[in-house]
Amino acid sequence: MKKLILSLFVLLALFTNAQNTAAKFGYVDTDYIMGQIPEYKAAQLELDKTSIQWQKEIETKYTEVDKLYKAYQADAVLLTDDMKKKRENEIINKEKEVKDLQKQRFGVDGELFKKRQELVKPIQDKVYNAIKAVAEKAGLGFVMDKSGQVSLLYANSKYDKSDDVLVYLGYKK
């Protein structure tokens, strides 16, 4: 966080010195904006409903695995070695199936992630485009998001001094 704030001050100083005009800044609260959009609320409700349904399904399957394990423990003294191996493999396979299902649904590129991309991404893109349009209309050089961690949502490319910094450092002519 300190690095981000320090970077912003350094950028502001560079812009002020390089342009002799201060860039105009603005900020938005994307959490507030998204909370005011009915389509976003509906998408979140659908995602929550789906997530709860899938979680219950997975919990049910874990309960089944637990029942199999308890039954195995109760019967273990009566089972032959071959029967024990067979039941152990059955339990291991069932548990693997449940873990695979959990990963398929909730993993990094799982179904919930894809569903979120499908439902929420178009709304986020619409909000970003609106932020950009409002910033350009207001003549803002930068727009930051105050919700959560501070992040830069929009930057007018005329204020990009990356090449100037590389020239100053001697990495570019």
- In this predicted structure, the answer to whether residue 163 has a pLDDT above a threshold of 70 is yes
**Separation CA 154–CA 131 (nearest Å):** 8
Most confident of 20-24, 101-105, 162-166: 101-105
| pLDDT classification of 161: cutoffs 50, 70, 90 | low
| pLDDT classification of 6: cutoffs 50, 70, 90 | very low
Residue-level pLDDT at 74: 93
| pLDDT classification of 45: cutoffs 50, 70, 90 | very high
Q: Which of 50-54, 110-114, 157-161 has the lowest mean pLDDT?
A: 157-161
Give the tens place of pLDDT for each residue, 77-131: 999 999 999 999 999 999 999 999 999 999 999 999 999 999 999 999 988 889 8
Tell me the mean pLDDT in the region 152-173.
Answer: 72
Tell me the mean pLDDT in the region 33-54.
Answer: 94
pTM summary value: 0.67
Tell me the mean pLDDT in the region 38-66.
Answer: 96
